[in-house]
Structure 1
Amino acid sequence: MTTTHMIVLPGDTIPASSLPISTNPNKALTLGPGLRHIPPNTIKATISGALTTDVRKNATWIEYNSGRYQPSPSDLVIAIIASSVSESYTCTLTPYAPPTTLPHLSFESATKKTRPVLPLQSLVYARILPFSRYTTPELTCIDPSTGKADGLGPLKGGMVFDISLAMARRLLAGAKGGVMVLEMLAEKLVFEVAVGRNGVIWVEGGNVTVTLKVGMAVQEVDRGGLGVEGQRALVEKVLRGL
């Protein structure tokens, strides 16, 4: 469960009382976007936004609106295969983000003989591994805690729709993010979605009409800042048009 504590400004020191308290003493605190650790025990904000924590993941970060995506460890992203070399793919997250790499064997049960062969411009749903400012971000399609794909991997068919970074964060937060349109549509329609923190949503509705309607509904909520009642009215409009 995520919790928002307060609004912070660049240079603010984060009080210990606002940090998550993990039930696992061996699990280190994970700092996400907008926070910097200053040894030995000081954590400062580097951007303005809402300080947010996730106790289950023992993680904290700053939610903020930004027009340009910056890769961050643990982010779920939708990547485009740009090229392939001997042992990895080079992937694009956005036109402005640095390229990332995806090892050929970073798929569930992959071996040199069974790994997926992905053509250029293919889409993959992946997670960003920890990296330093001096290294190229690396992606994986395996959950390290289970060794399984758990929903990650190549995305086949469907369409992608651009959304704001704030909307991507809200969708990944589920109902707690205030975006109910997908849950409402799923009560009447069958479709799959994958949300990338890099400002992309992939939708597969089984046919072009459903796919377009679902993706464009999410974009309309994003543009209009619709609340729950506005989203309910939008869903009714979409269903009438099918």
Structure 2
Amino acid sequence: MGESRHVSSMKVVLPGDLIMELPVKPVDTSENVFLGPGLRWKDGVVRATRPGILKKDSRNLYFIESHQKRYIPQKREFVVGTVIKNKGNSYLVDIGSHEPATISFLAFENASKKTRKDLRLGDLIYGQLLVANKDMEPELVCIDFYNRAVGMGTLPDGGLLFKVPLHVARSLVNPSNPFLLELGARLSFSIVVGFNGRVWVKAKNMADMTSVMHAVSLLECMSTEEALIKMHSVIDSVLSQCAVD
């Protein structure tokens, strides 16, 4: 599911709050600060543009986590999208943002002009955003710097796709969050979580996939600790209902 990143919470902020001073606008290097959703640099300072919790991950990326539903594409983030159109040498992919992302047929492992990747409308893709800014349409790739898939690509048929709020998606991919480990001890499944709030799960039957979906949905209104306590009763309820149906 992409790279692991430790995320730490810092404080609650409101629009206009001063976050830090940065005399020079951040550039894309490993030594610098990276600004994610909810932050804006202007005149040497970084301020919040929306209310929420200021967080920082191990890549020195700062962002504000809030209960927003519209995804704002961010470079390097991993997302789950749906192919919606063929554009000749590329495809349009719905990732839940204000405009679809594009992906070249060459942006897959072992793809070439002779062995191009053919996608169908409705195919699900797990990829990484290579380009994401307000002046250009988002661009996806399913390979890393060494042209390896490393888990990215089209997702198998037979899975279940559902949506969660963006803050839930970010909490699920946090390696310090024990929720998926506990859920995996109860049910056997494969899961892919996109930073855009789309979650794909595949298990041996629909009852198990539905159970995973309902268990994950607990995080929308509960803390991780509360959801872990409630999780087993929710799974039992879903499985018993599916058995009756």
What is the TM-score when the length of structure 2 is the normalising length? 0.82
Residue correspondence of structure 1 range 58-207 to structure 2 within 5 A: 58-94=60-96, 97-144=98-145, 146-157=146-157, 158-176=159-177, 180=179, 182-207=180-205
Aligned partners of 2:131 and 2:137 also within 8 Å: no
* Distance (whole Å) between structure 2 residues aligned to residue 85 and residue 15 of structure 1: 43
The residue that corresponds to 2:3 in the other structure is: none
Aligned partners of 1:184 and 1:232 also within 8 Å: no
* Distance (whole Å) between structure 1 residues aligned to residue 221 and residue 50 of structure 2: 26
The residue that corresponds to 1:20 in the other structure is: none
> Is the partner of 2:47 in helix, strand or coil?
strand
Q: Note if 1:6 corresponds to 2:11.
A: yes
The residue that corresponds to 1:238 in the other structure is: 235
Q: Note if 1:222 corresponds to 2:219.
A: yes
Residue correspondence of structure 1 range 45-56 to structure 2 within 5 A: 45-54=48-57, 56=58
Over the residues paired in the alignment, what is the CA RMSD in angstroms? 2.4
> Is the partner of 2:183 in helix, strand or coil?
helix
In structure 2, give the amino acid aligned to 1:150: V
Change (3 A) 1:174 1:235: farther
Residue correspondence of structure 1 range 26-65 to structure 2 within 5 A: 27-39=31-43, 41-54=44-57, 56-65=58-67
Displacement of 1:229 in angstroms is 5.1
Change (3 A) 1:231 1:13: same
Displacement of 1:204 in angstroms is 0.7
> Is the partner of 1:61 in helix, strand or coil?
strand
* Distance (whole Å) between structure 2 residues aligned to residue 46 and residue 232 of structure 1: 35
The residue that corresponds to 2:211 in the other structure is: 213
Aligned partners of 2:215 and 2:234 also within 8 Å: no
Number of aligned pairs?
A: 227
Displacement of 1:137 in angstroms is 0.8
Normalized per residue, which structure has more strand? Answer: 2
* Distance (whole Å) between structure 2 residues aligned to residue 236 and residue 118 of structure 1: 40
Aligned partners of 1:160 and 1:201 also within 8 Å: yes
Displacement of 1:47 in angstroms is 1.5
Aligned partners of 1:105 and 1:111 also within 8 Å: yes
Aligned partners of 1:36 and 1:46 also within 8 Å: yes
Question: Could you tell which deviates more after superposition, 133-142 or 27-36?
Answer: 27-36
Structure 1 residue ranges without an equivalent (≥5): 18-24
In structure 1, give the amino acid aligned to 2:181: E
- 1:5-38 CA distance string (max 9 Å, x none): 1222222222359xxxxxxx85332211111122
* Distance (whole Å) between structure 2 residues aligned to residue 185 and residue 51 of structure 1: 28
> Is the partner of 1:216 in helix, strand or coil?
helix
* Distance (whole Å) between structure 2 residues aligned to residue 197 and residue 26 of structure 1: 21
Displacement of 1:195 in angstroms is 0.8
What is the TM-score when the length of structure 1 is the normalising length? 0.83
> Is the partner of 2:99 in helix, strand or coil?
coil
Structure 2 residue ranges without an equivalent (≥5): 1-5, 23-28, 241-245
* Distance (whole Å) between structure 2 residues aligned to residue 173 and residue 155 of structure 1: 22
